[in-house]
Every structure is written in C-alpha cells, then in structure tokens.
Structure 1
Amino acid sequence: MGVVPLKDIVDPAFAARYGVPAINIFNDLTMEAVLAGAVECNSPVILQTSVKTVRSIGSRVLFEMWESMTRGIEVPVTLHLDHCPDRDVVTECLKAGWNSVLFDASALPVEENQRQTIEVVREARSYGAQVEGEIEAITGVEDDHGSDEVSKQQSLETALTFIDATGIDVFAPSIGNAHGTYKAAPVLDANRVTEIVKARSIPIALHGGSGLSPEQFQDLIARGCAKVNISTALKETFMKSHLAFLKQAEQNSKWDPPSLFKHTRGDVIDMVKELAEQFGSAGKGR
C-alpha cells in the first residue's frame, strides 16, 4: 500500500467503525518505531508532526526521513501536520509533501476560522492533500500550543455550517477531551460525536486520546471517531523507557547508546501494536 492520502485511511475506518492511531512523532527513532509497529501488526497508521517538531528538525529533513522510512512499506501510511495555526507553516509542509494538515484557527471567531479554513482547503487541494478542521480549542497545552482554559462549545448548527462551508475531510470536535495527562477521569460528551456523524457522515478526529479508558475508546470509535490522536503516551513511553534503561546502565556502569536506542524502539513498537489492537486497526493494513 505505502503512502496514501489521509482519506484512504480514515474513510474505510469510518465506514467499518475502527480507529486508526494518529501518533505524534518527534525524532527519527520514534518515526521509524511507529512505522515498524504498524507493519508488525498490519495496521494503517497516521504519522503526525507538531509545529514544534517541524521547526526544531526542519520540514525538509523531516520529509526526507519520511520518504526514506516509508519506501517499500506494505501498510497504508500518511503524514499529517497536527494543530497548526500558522498559515506559513501549513504552506511549507504542503509544499514539502505532507498528505494532510490540521489548520487550527480555533482561537479566532468562527466566521474568520471558517473563511481561512476555506482558503487552506483550496490550497491543500492544489497539492492533492486533505484538511482536518476544528472550531473549538481542545483543552490543554501540547508542544507549546494550546491553553488550559476550557473553550466554549459551539452549537451543532455552527459545527455543521462550518463542515459544509469549508469542505474539510475530518472534523475535530471538543467533547470534554484534553491534551496532556488527565488529572481526573474525563467526562465526555460522546453524544456530540453521534449528532455530527448522523447529520453529516464525516470522519471524526478524537484528540486527547492518551489516558482515555478502553471503554471510552470503544464507544467513541463506534460512534465515528476514525482518527485517534496519541501524543502524550508516546512521549511518556519514550522517556520512561530511556529512564529505566539508564538506571540499569548506571547500576552496571555500562554505557552503550545503541542498546539504549534498541530498548526504547522495542517499547515504542509494543505501544503502537497495543493501540492498533485496542482501536481495531490491527490486520486492516492490506
């Protein structure tokens, strides 16, 4: 299968009601390990980059890594720019070859958000790319983007008007989900997903997936959340894996970086496989 448009991954998932892991990578090791995990469990995967990662590594280097690591890959994969309010970065990534973008203008009034999203969709189409949109900020700060203040939830009518006017391919509603680590079990407005899907039959992106319960994942995916975003869980897996290995290395006074990378790679692969099994995408890669 190889690199495909976002729609080729989320549309089948939406139709069959399974979720596809959309995982925010932040270096070469996590990119390679996420792709390897998807291959091992035969799952499609959406590889995401934050604006912070694009700026720290550079779009050209990131895309060259992506091209190299996906050459000959046998499961459907796609490269997505997550939560980007900066039009210049959106354009930079589309020109470089990203398959889709989340233009995040949720800090703007809905009317201005809608106007600019229409422009982004038009631009993305010229590159054969897709667009995810949102009208409410997802609570929490992630990769220096966002706010801990809870955004006002817009009406269903406003959401549907935005979807119709912009022609976005995926919609990300705020349903009580949050970026980062949940301090308490979140109370989710799952019925909002059902209302949107019933009215417009559009794949839904579930943000703030790290920390939700298996029951919440199962329910939301069944309602139409075809794209399930994971960021914090990968960061925690990466850093805790490093920490455990380095503690043992210190105890043994044995310092071998390649062994550290191999250890962490294995933990990331296991995380990806567990997510794919949980979301129902395992075995759906061909």
Structure 2
Amino acid sequence: MAVAPLKGLVDEALAKGYAVPAINVVDELSLSAVVAAAVEAGSPLIIQTSVKTVKAVGRDVLKAMFDAVVGPVPVPVSLHLDHCPDRAVISSCLEAGWNSVLFDASALPVEENQRQTVEVVAEAKRYGAHVEGEIEGITGVEDGVGSDAEAERQSLEVATRFVETTGVDVFAPAIGNAHGIYHSTPELDSQRITDLVKATGIPMALHGGSGLTREQFQDLIGRGCAKVNISTALKVAYMKSSLEHLEQARAADKWDPPSLFRHIHAAVKTMAAEHIEIFGSGGRA
C-alpha cells in the first residue's frame, strides 16, 4: 500500500466523516515515530514537510528517508509540502516525488494568487500530484512562513470562484484558527467549513490544529475538514521529551544517545496516536 496520492486519502475521509492526520515531521526520528503510530492504528497518514525542513535536511535526503521508512508499511501514506510561497521549491519537490503541495500565495492579491495557483495545479498534474490552495493567511508564523496579523476573510463567493477556477484538490480556509500554541480556546467560525464544502464539494484542510479541543476537532471534521494539520504538538512532544530525558541523564551522569532517541520516538508516537484516535482515522487504511 505505502505511498498514496493525497486526493484519494482526503476524498475518502470527506465521504466517510473522518480526517486524515497531516503531521509535520522534522527528521527521520519523528518520521518513523509518526509512521509507527499510523501502522499500529491502521490509519492513513499525510507526512508534511515545511520549506524550512526541506532546506535544512536537504530535498533528496528527506525524500530518501521518506521512501525508506514508508516503503514497507501496510498503510497509505502521502508526502506533502506545507505552506510554500516559493515556486522554485514547489517545482523542486514535485520533481523529486512529493505527492502534493500547498502553494501559499495568501500574501498576494486574490487574483494574482489565483493566476499562479492555476499554473501550480497544471505543473502538479504533470507529476500526478495534487495541490492545496489558500487565499487567506492562517494567523501565526510556522517555520518562518506566515504572519501574526489575522488576515481578512474572503467572501464565500470569492473562495468558491478560487476553488473552481484553479482546480485545487483541497482548500485551507481561515476560521479563527492559528499556528502555534493557543493561550485560550479559540472561537472558530465552524459554519464557514459547512458552507465551503457545500459550495465547492472538496475537502477542507484545518491548519493550526495543535491545541484544539476534542469537541472542536470532531465538529470541524464532521463539517468537512478531512485533512487536519499537526505541527506544534509534534515539536512540543519532541522537545519536552528530549529535555526530560537529558535532565535524567545529567542527574545519573549517564549519556547514551540511543536511549534518548527511544524516549523521543515513544513521545512522538504517543502524540500521533492520540490525534489518530480523535480524528477517527484508525482502521481506515
């Protein structure tokens, strides 16, 4: 089963009322932990990479790690480039075999965003890949992309025209969600998801998922968020588990890197498993 197109995963999730976890990984350790959680739960999975990670690890190294980890697994996994405003990076990743990309031209006027997204969709089709579109910046900076200023939300008419004109496979709307850590429970415009799915017929992508309540997740998934992004939760699990283990190592004066790696792997795997359970994707592979 292994590598799978994004569109098939999210279309099926939309039709059956669950969400595919789309988790941003940062290295081979986090990648293997997330995939292990999906295999154990029998869940489809979207592995996401930020532009920052692509540049830090290297495109070819990152793709080779993905192929090595995902190749033998029995669940469908897609490789997605998250929030990329750089057309050159999009072209590079599509050429290397990414299954989908989010062309984030939300900083541009809608008409110019739409014009360029049409081009990206055409380019992706040549590789058998899919495209996620966005016209409103999601509040918060993630891996160097974005802004802390809340973007103006476009009308349903504008959003629908963008989807229909560009032919994107998934749409990422702003509904009061934000990247990073929520300091209080956000007030979300859930009805906007219902309206967009009804008007466009395509799955919505929920960004800024880390930190939402179970009830918020399940309400939005029921309305059509068939792809739910998780990034901050992975970073927190990774870094806190690392800190915890290093403090224990210092106290015992025992320094064993493989035990640190196992500790981080277990924490990230648990985090992924918790979200798979909430999203209802377990057993859907």
- What is the TM-score of this pair, normalised by structure 1? 0.99
* CA distance in 2: counterparts of 1:160 and 1:278, whole angstroms: 29
2:57 aligned partner? 57
1:43-83, CA deviations, whole angstroms, 9 ceiling, x for partnerless residues? Answer: 01100000000011111110011111111210010000000
Distance in 2 of aligned mates of 1:183 and 1:124:
37
Q: Secondary structure of 1:106's match?
A: coil
Match for 1:195: what amino acid?
D
Q: CA RMSD in A?
A: 0.6
1:183 Cα deviation (Å)? 2.0
Are positions 1:19 and 2:45 aligned together? no
Map of 1:173 onto structure 2? 173
Paired with 2:6 and 2:202, the residues of 1 have a C-alpha distance of 13
Paired letter, 1:229: N
1:28 and 2:58 are equivalent in the alignment: no
CA distance in 2, matches of 1:200, 1:155: 13
Q: Report the counterpart of residue 200 of structure 2 in structure 1.
A: 200
**Distance (whole Å) between structure 1 residues aligned to residue 119 and residue 261 of structure 2:** 42
Please give the alpha-carbon distance, in whole angstroms, between the structure 2 residues aligned to 1:2 and 1:144. 30
**Distance across 1 between alignment mates of 2:234 and 2:142:** 13
Instruction: Give deviations 1:218-264, integer Å, cap 9, x for gaps.
Output: 10000000000000000000000001111111111111000000111
Tell me, in whole angstroms, the C-alpha distance in 2 between the residues paired with 1:264 and 1:117. Answer: 38
* Secondary structure at the counterpart of residue 174 of structure 1: coil
Quote the Cα distance in structure 2 between the aligned partners of 1:201 and 1:215: 24
| Aligned position for 1:139 | 139
In 1, Cα distance between the equivalents of 2:157 and 2:8? 28
Match of 1:148 in 2: 148
Partners of 1:234 and 1:130 in 2: CA distance: 25
Q: Which residue of the partner structure matches residue 112 of structure 1?
A: 112
Letter in 1 for 2:29: L
Q: State the partner residue of 1:258.
A: 258
Deviation by residue 1:149-200 (Cα, 9 ceiling, x = unmatched) = 0100000000000000000000000000000001221100000000011112
Secondary structure of the equivalent of 1:234?
helix
Query: How many residues matched?
Result: 285
* Cα distance, 1:273 vs structure 2: 1.0
Per the alignment, residue 280 of structure 1 pairs with 280
1:68-87 mapped onto 2 (5 Å cutoff): 68-87=68-87
Identity %: 62
Q: How far apart, CA to CA, are the structure 1 residues paired with 2:92 and 2:200?
A: 31
Q: State the alpha-carbon separation in 2 of the partners of residues 216 and 80 from structure 1.
A: 24
Distance 1:183 1:89 in 2: 33
Q: What does residue range 35-46 of structure 1 map to in structure 2 within 5 Å?
A: 35-46=35-46
Deviation at 1:100, TM superposition (A): 0.1
Q: Distance in 2 between matches of 1:262 and 1:218?
A: 31
Once residues 117 and 148 of structure 1 are traced to their aligned partners in structure 2, the CA distance between those partners, rounded to angstroms, is 24
SS in 2 for 1:180: coil
Q: Which runs of 5+ in 2 are unaligned?
A: none
1:236 equivalent in alignment to 2:216: no
**Large movers: runs of 4+ above 2 Å:** none
Work out the CA distance in 1 between the residues paired with 2:170 and 2:149: 24
SS state of the match for residue 281, structure 1?
Answer: coil
Q: State the secondary structure of the residue aligned to 2:244.
A: helix
Instruction: Provide the C-alpha distance between the structure 1 equivalents of 2:41 and 2:185, rounded to a whole number of angstroms.
Output: 29
Q: 1:10 offset after TM fit, Å?
A: 0.5
SS in 2 for 1:202: coil
Superposition TM-score, scaled by structure 2 size: 0.99
Q: Quick one: distance in 2 between partners of 1:255 and 1:36?
A: 26
